[in-house]
């Protein structure tokens, strides 16, 4: 494991139990030694489920499996192994995925099509099925109700190059019933829009009909995981689930016009955004958490494309690593995005310092103040492209020697 | 200046004179010390010109200028300064550009609209007009007929972070008349498709009508500069020119059906491809020259997009730097390209070693042989995506600590 990211939170947060969720972890030794590499969440009968998956055209076997059963609308379990992505493993991989679902199904007398699957790690290596099945059987015996310690153990079991375990929670009141939303996630490299090598498992004890739950998760993912980038790469395995157990006793939400929908949706979005930010903070080699806001674009999508063009530029990212207020590279990032921008109306702020406007450097702008801002762990870049009112914010990290050290050695 | 790229050619090539081309360089001290930073090529009256320019929506002042006069079809001169890109410099930048053209025009009693312009270097700083004009006047006095030494001096004067000067030549026989094609170029970082921070100046003493010359250059650029990538970044300044002086005495080519068109076009393409490869060999921090060929795509454009998706992946590039035959990252690159690919028909070769097919690792493939191939300075990756017959080859380099060292310190 690499050293803890300098941008890591002080510690794993205290997370509440989510009624109707039981957790287990197990050290099966599939790839890693001396740590858990299997995670199981068992959810109550009647739990609804939503999912968003990688847009990769070479998805992993567990993505194929989970996507195929998502239409059921309900689920009973989700299983994750770390260290091996079970991606590009052909029919052997599909067999391992099916076997995983069947083993868990058999342990709890549920249907295999109610068991969602995630795998993360190396691509192109088959899983050792015997050890896998034995591990899963042991995993199934270790269930305990969700609790802060259990969430932390689960978040640790799904890590690969992550330097810290990631969890987040929110609590809301739905007409007098306290409802919890808790999520855990993994991801640090190969992180890019349209999902990343990231897995997210979010649970609530609210009750929500499957279609609404899907709308809620899709919206939350668009505003969180699809707005972060570490290195522009997109994985074969990205998946996020939202499970609603209904075990809080709150009445089921079946319409977006139910005011409780908005309340719960905001909590779900907050938890996913918190997890997404933690993933950026664990960006491989990251030393700066960077927020880039583009305004004045033709529409919000254009703003997002421009912001990601800046965020993905290796030249911008290396300048940030060097605390160099080289806003010329930001101009370059705007110019290459392919979206409408008025060069001569462009404004660029580094922190609160307006460094460029009217197509030139601001006369007398303080490079010192801009540089001072860049010495912080958290930095902000704002760009107005002078066309219309579209806006978007994305988050990224800097590009350092650490990224290369980590990625030049991952398999060894 | 950084240390010479390990992928640099043995030395600057011997380049022939091109009839009708005179060259000059001068040390104006605009940014650099103890080296020439101005370059002028004066071409005979009647020279036709073609140009391709950056697609950036924030183009530099010299790009604006040159694009605006390209329609003339003929030109008398091209001037380049290095160290300052005159990009994002507003009206002051436009004034500097006009002043440059007018100063050269006045020195040779030609029209300013016959003077093409290029600037490369830092973005967002205005040029010191007084020193610039004085330098240009001195530059104009130093003209000499093109020769191998003059080409090398010119290629040196246009360098920024380049670790070596870049030149290439070809000679062809057009119905008994020997015709030369000579090009010089600069570029090493911020290199990506649709041009890069690269400048190319290509000259021939053949005679070609302007429209045909443009077709010839556009084709050559598509197959060369637009097929290379160092870091996916695209600059505000990219420009390539092709000047045809006609001074060889060869009859003018006015139709693509003239068999001499194809002969000359092949020579022009070869020179541009050679220059493009040299730019990749000078990729910032590069230690490997990487050729990626994608076949079996829906069409050639799809193949190119997939190949560039692999070539631009930081995870692929860091694995290549580590000589790690991590073909899973190539699968990832195919998957994220957004073009049709059949995961279960995909084939991947590293060098001559078929490492993956039918959606799995090839049983018994030799990781040792694949790794052995990656120890070379020049490596090949072939991917067949199993859809149709589209193919494309692109060239890139690996991503190393050197890239970060160079780019975290460029302005200091």
Instruction: Outline where DSSP puts E strands in B123-234.
Output: 144-145, 166-174, 177-186, 199-204, 228-229
pLDDT for the residue numbered B234: 60
Contacts of A88 in chain B (CB under 8 A): 328, 331, 343, 346, 356, 359-361
> B7 pairs with which residues across the strands?
none
pLDDT band at A335 (very low <50, low <70, confident <90, very high): confident
- From A180-184, A263-267, B406-410, the region with the lowest mean pLDDT: B406-410
Query: Cβ contact (<8 Å) for A315 and B88?
Result: no
Contact B331 A89 (CB under 8 A): no
Chain A hits for B403, CB-CB cut-off 8 Å, are 314, 318
| Smallest CA–CA distance from A236 into chain B, residue | B332
Kindly list the catalytic residues of B. Answer: 197
Tell me which residue in A92, A125, A331 faces B236 most closely, judged by beta carbons: A331
Query: Tokens representing A165?
Result: 């375990």
CB contact under 8 A, B190 and A344: no
A14-46 pLDDT tens trace? 999 999 999 999 999 999 899 999 999 999 999
Point out the residue among A57, A124, A404 whose CB comes nearest to the CB of B328.
Answer: A124
State which residue of chain B sits closest to A124, comparing Cα positions: B328
- For residue A194, what pLDDT is reported? 36
Query: What's the order of all strands across the beta sheet hosting B360-361?
Result: B228-229, B390-397, B289-297, B378-384, B347-350, B353-357, B360-361
Nearest to A384 by CA among A310, A283, A273: A310
Q: List CB contacts (< 8 A) between B411 and chain A.
A: 324, 326
Q: Tell me if B178 sits within 8 A of B186, measured CB to CB.
A: no
Buried b (16+ CB within 10 A) or exposed e, B293-331: bbbbbbbeebbbbbbbbbbbbbbbbbbbbbbbbbbbbbb
**Residue with tokens 């020769």, as numbered in its chain:** B147
What mean pLDDT is predicted for residues A157-186? 96
Which residues of A are marked as active site?
197
> In degrees rounded to 5, what are phi and psi of residue A116?
-85, 155
Top residue of A336, A346, A399, A406 to mutate, by most chain B CBs within 10 Å, is A336
d(CA B355, CA B375): 17
The DSSP result for B28-69, as a single string, is --SS-SSS--EEEEEE-TT-EEEEEE---SS--HHHHHHHHH
Instruction: Summarize pLDDT for A49-80 with one digit per residue, the tens.
Output: 999 998 888 889 999 999 999 999 999 999 99
Q: Check A88 against B360: CB less than 8 A apart.
A: yes
CA angle at A73 for the pair A70 and A79, rounded to the nearest 5°? 55
Contact state of B236 with A411 under an 8 Å Cβ cutoff: no
Write out pLDDT tens, residues A271-304: 999 999 999 999 878 899 999 999 999 999 999 9
Q: Which two tokens stand for residue A293?
A: 């806001």
> Is the pLDDT at A245 greater than 90, yes or no?
yes
- Closest to B206 measured CA to CA, from B239, B167, B240, B173: B173
Asked if residues B106 and B113 have their Cβ atoms less than 8 Å apart, the reply is no
Domain ranges of chain B: 21-281, 289-407
Is the model's pLDDT at A233 over the cut of 60?
no
Cα–Cα distances in Å, from B9 out to B148, B153, B165, B228?
A: 16, 17, 10, 18
- Read off the pLDDT of residues A341-367 as tens digits, 9 standing for 90 and up: 888 899 999 999 999 998 888 988 998
Mean residue pLDDT across chain A: 91
Name the residue with higher pLDDT: A360 or A261: A261
Q: What is the pLDDT of residue B251?
A: 97
**What's the CATH fold of domain A289-407?**
Ubiquitin-like (UB roll) (3.10.20)
Contacts of B324 in chain A (CB under 8 A): 408, 410-412
Q: Which residues of A touch B125 (CB under 8 A)?
A: 361
- Say which of B58, B331, B336 has its CB closest to residue A334: B58
Could you tell me if B321 and B404 are in contact, meaning their C-beta atoms sit under 8 angstroms apart? Answer: no
Contact A313 B124 (CB under 8 A): no
CATH of B21-281, picked from 3.10.580.10, 3.60.70.12, 3.40.50.720, 3.40.50.1970, is 3.60.70.12
This prediction's pTM: 0.81
A389, pLDDT greater than 80: yes
Q: Do A236 and B315 touch (CB under 8 A)?
A: no
The answer to whether the Cβ–Cβ distance between B335 and A89 falls below 8 Å is no
Interchain proximity A331–B57, CB inside 8 Å: no
Say whether B87 and A235 touch across the interface (CB within 8 A).
Answer: no
Q: Which of B57, B87, B327 sits opposite A124 (nearest CB)?
A: B327
pLDDT value at A407 more than 80: no
Q: Which pLDDT belongs to residue A189?
A: 57
Q: Which residues of A touch B308 (CB under 8 A)?
A: none
Is residue A379 helix, strand or coil? strand
* Residue matched to tokens 């191939």: B373
Backbone angles phi, psi at B38, to 5 degrees: -125, 140
Distance between CA atoms of B61 and B51, rounded to whole angstroms?
Answer: 16
Token output for A291: 């927020």
Per-residue pLDDT of chain B (412 residues; tens, 9 = 90+): 468 989 999 999 999 999 999 999 999 999 889 999 999 999 999 999 999 998 888 889 999 999 999 999 999 999 999 999 998 888 999 999 999 999 999 999 999 999 999 999 888 889 999 999 999 999 999 999 999 999 999 999 999 888 999 999 999 999 999 999 999 999 875 554 333 478 999 999 999 999 999 999 999 998 898 888 765 556 778 899 999 999 999 999 999 999 999 999 999 999 999 999 999 999 878 899 999 999 999 999 999 999 999 998 888 988 899 899 988 889 888 988 888 888 889 999 999 999 999 888 898 889 899 999 999 999 999 999 999 999 999 999 988 887 777 777 645 3
Distance between A411 CA and the closest CA of chain B, angstroms: 8
- From B323's Cα to the closest Cα of chain A, the distance in A is 8
Q: Which of A93, A124, A325, A346 to mutate to test the interface with B (most CBs of B within 10 A)?
A: A124
Å from A190 to nearest chain B CA?
Answer: 7
Contact residues on chain B for A328, CB-CB shorter than 8 A: 85, 87-88, 122-124
Residue A412, pLDDT score? 38
Give residue B143's pLDDT.
Answer: 97
Measure the CA dihedral B116/B121/B126/B128, to 10°. -80
Total beta-carbon pairs less than 8 A apart between chain A and chain B: 209
Task: Answer whether residue A405 shows pLDDT above 80.
Answer: no
Dist CA A119 CA A97 (whole Å): 9
A360 to B232: CB separation less than 8 angstroms, yes or no? no
CB contact under 8 A, B341 and A57: yes
Tokens of B149: 């030494």
Q: List chain A residues with CB under 8 Å of B409.
A: 322
């Amino acid at each position: 494991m690499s050293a803890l990211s300098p941008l890591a939170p002080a510690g794993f947060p205290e997370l509440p139990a989510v009624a109707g969720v039981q957790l287990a972890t197990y050290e099966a030794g599939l790839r890693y030694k001396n740590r858990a590499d299997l995670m199981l969440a068992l959810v109550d009968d009647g739990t609804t489920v939503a999912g968003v998956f990688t847009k990769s055209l070479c998805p992993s076997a567990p993505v194929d499996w989970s996507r195929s059963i998502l239409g059921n609308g309900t689920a009973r379990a989700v299983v994750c192994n770390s260290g091996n992505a079970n991606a590009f493993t052909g029919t052997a991989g599909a067999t391992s995925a099916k076997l995983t679902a069947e083993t868990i199904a058999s342990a709890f007398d549920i249907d295999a099509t109610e068991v969602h699957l995630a795998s993360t790690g190396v691509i192109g290596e088959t899983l050792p099925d015997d050890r896998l099945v034995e591990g899963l059987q042991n995993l199934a015996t270790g269930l305990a109700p969700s609790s802060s310690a259990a969430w932390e153990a689960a978040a640790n079991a799904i890590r690969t190059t992550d330097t810290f375990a990631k969890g987040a929670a929110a609590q809301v009141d739905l007409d007098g019933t306290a409802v919890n939303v808790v999520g855990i996630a993994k991801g640090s490299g190969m992180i890019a829009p349209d999902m990343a090598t990231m897995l997210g498992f979010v649970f609530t004890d609210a009750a929500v009909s499957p279609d609404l739950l899907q709308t809620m998760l899709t919206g939350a993912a668009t505003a969180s995981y699809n707005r972060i980038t570490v290195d522009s790469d997109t994985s074969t395995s990205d998946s996020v689930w939202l499970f609603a157990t209904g075990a809080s006793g709150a009445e089921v939400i079946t319409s977006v016009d139910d005011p409780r929908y908005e309340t719960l949706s905001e909590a779900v979005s907050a938890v996913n955004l918190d997890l997404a930010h933690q993933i950026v903070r664990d960006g491989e080699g990251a030393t700066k958490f960077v927020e880039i806001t583009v305004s004045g674009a033709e529409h919000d999508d254009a703003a997002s494309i421009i912001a990601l063009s800046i965020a993905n530029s290796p030249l911008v990212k290396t300048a940030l690593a060097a605390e160099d207020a080289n806003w010329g590279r930001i101009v370059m990032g705007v110019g290459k995005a392919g979206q409408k921008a008025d060069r001569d109306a462009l404004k660029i702020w580094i922190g609160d310092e307006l460094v460029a406007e009217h197509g030139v450097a601001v006369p007398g702008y303080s490079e010192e103040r801009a540089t001072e801002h860049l010495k912080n762990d958290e930095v902000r870049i704002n760009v107005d492209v002078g066309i219309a009112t579209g806006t978007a914010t994305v988050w990224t990290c800097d590009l350092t020697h650490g990224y290369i050290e980590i990625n030049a050695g991952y398999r060894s």
